[in-house]
Amino acid sequence: MKFRQLITGAAAALALVATGFAADAATVVVKKGGHRVFVERGVPARYIGRDRVVEIVRARHIRFVGQPYMYRGNYVLRCYDRFGRMAFCRIQPRTGAFLGISVRL
């Protein structure tokens, strides 16, 4: 198993040297466990759409006001907490993970 990984790594290193490192923006395939992970280098980060942010907040049965906007690297959406106070929902823009509700004081 280790010998096969060593040979594969050496072949990948030779391929990079042979191309003269011109493949910076190309797709690099990394094999982890039983599946392959595709890593793209030189590609700008992709963010989820604003309509997807609204769907994520609706799925949690949270009432919201207005449109989501970017603030300090996260999507922020004005909403109401469970007590009816004005708050802000934060969503991670790359994965769509719900980061929580911040109550406005």
Per-residue pLDDT at 81 exceeds 60: yes
60 and 81 in a single domain? The answer is yes
Task: Judge whether 45 lies within some domain.
Answer: no
Token pair of 22 as six digits: 């011109």
Amino acid 37: pLDDT: 64
Spatial distance between the Cα atoms of 54 and 58, rounded to a whole number of angstroms? 6
- Interval 36-71: pLDDT, tens: 666 666 666 688 889 999 999 999 999 999 999 999
Higher pLDDT, 105 or 69: 69
- Say which residues have a Cβ less than 8 Å from residue 41's Cβ, sequence separation at least 6: 24, 25, 26, 28
Find out whether 89 and 64 touch, Cβ atoms under 8 Å: yes
Verify that 61 and 30 share a domain, yes or no: no
Mean pLDDT of the chain: 79
Which domain, by its residues, includes 77? Answer: 50-103
| Per-residue confidence band for 76, with pLDDT thresholds at 50, 70 and 90 | very high
Domain count, the chain: 2
In this predicted structure, what is the pLDDT of residue 33?
A: 64
Which residue type, as a one-letter code, is found at position 69?
Y
Answer for the pair 102, 82: CB distance below 8 angstroms, yes or no.
no
* CATH number of the domain to which 84 belongs: 3.10.450
The answer on 72 and 96 residing in a single domain is: yes
Residues 29, 65, single domain; the answer is: no
